[in-house]
Homo-oligomer: A and B are copies of this chain.
Amino acid sequence: MRTIIAVDIGGTQLRAAAYKKDQLQPITQKRVKTNASEPDTFGRLVNLIEDIWPKDEGVGAIGVSSPGPLDPHTGVIMSPPNIKEWRDFPITEKLRERFGIPAYLDNDANLAGLAEWKFGAGRGHHNILYLTVSTGVGGGVIIDDRLLQGHHGLAAELGHTTVQADGPLCGCGQRGHLESYSSGTGIERFVADQLSAGRESVLHPNKKNSAHDISEAAERGDALSIEAYAIAGKYLGIGVANFLHAFNPSIVIFGGGVSQSGPLLFDAFGKSLKERVIHPRYLDGLAITKAELGDDSGLLGARALAELKLSL
């Protein structure tokens, strides 16, 4: 009963894999399209799990990673952005009914942090700040080797930290969140606003310029694009200083596409972080590094959650 099935519910793909204890590679795995426009996502998920169910192994539990908001204590997915049929969907109860074994749930950013703690860049650390910087900004926090979840399981929503109360609009409708500055969406918004105001750039004002387009223009020396990433990095430093003051971790791990931008983002980040920390001891021995697990962080985090729950 030491085999775990891990499930990663993404906006474009449903993935599942079976892991034996102490083996990093899965013994079986499969992915299918989420097909979010079609109903019965749960039926497709059940088929996927049946497909990868190992024939010769007892399975101890199912771990599930999903976008939030969700409640890990009750196993209910509240309103995932990409699967409209799931509203207050009790996924762990449904899986337990169908497969007869316990199921555990948490959100993708929390579980990516947990995966990095157990299998990735955070091994050996007891206090970890994981940040994913991509379309949005998400957080996962490990404190004394335990995943921070909070009363309703809504902790570590770090992208929605206000760093400039009168700042730009965030995707959530609030102003001045870290995500409104440092996410891909934030970088794109800044460039679009500046282009609309007549700012010169190699980027076209009438086209949707992605964060990737902007980073390419920056690499070619476009001043607006360089500034866009520098602002994202500056506010990322301010946000991380807040999180160091709150959690005092020994490592900060960055995942997500925007965090692959190198010095374009991280030069300004490092300068800002150093300026904003209230005592140098927060930076004393602090590791700042990239996530190691890439696309598999959701699966490995779901697996780590289930293993923790079963005390494997």
Contact = CB atoms under 8 A, between A and B. Distances in A.
Number of copies: 2
Nearest to A249: B151
Interface string A123-145: 00011000000000000010110
Given A165-B164, A245-B160, A279 B154 contact: yes
Nearest to A127: B151
A246 B161 contact: yes
B279 A150 contact: no
Contacts of A282: 152, 154
Contact of A143 (B126, B143, B165, B176): B143
A284 B281 CA distance: 37
Interface string A147-180: 0111111111110111111100000101010000
Contact of A281 (B146, B154, B161): B154
A238 B152 contact: no
B247 A155 contact: yes
B166 A164 contact: yes
Nearest to A170: B278
A103 interface: no
A278 B157 contact: yes
A interface, over-half SS: loop
A153 B150 CA distance: 20
B162 A242 contact: yes
A146 B148 CA distance: 11
Contact of A242 (B235, B242, B276): B242
Interface in A205-230: none
A69 interface: yes
A173 to B, nearest CB: 8
A248 interface: yes
Interface in A244-285: 245-250, 276, 278-279, 281-282, 284-285
Query: Among the interface residues A164, A172, A242, A250, which one has the most CB atoms of the partner chain B within 10 A?
Result: A242
A185 to B, nearest CB: 15
Interface in A291-312: none
A142 to B, nearest CB: 11
A278 B154 CA distance: 11
A78 B156 CA distance: 29
Contacts of A165: 163-164, 235, 238
Contacts of A176: 164
Nearest to A175: B276
19 contacts: A126-B151, A127-B150, A144-B146, A149-B248, A150-B248, A151-B248, A151-B285, A152-B248, A153-B248, A155-B245, A158-B245, A161-B245, A162-B241, A162-B242, A163-B165, A165-B235, A165-B238, A242-B242, A246-B247
Given A154-B281, A157-B278, 12 more contacts: A141-B246, A144-B146, A151-B248, A151-B249, A151-B285, A155-B245, A155-B246, A156-B246, A157-B245, A162-B241, A164-B166, A174-B278
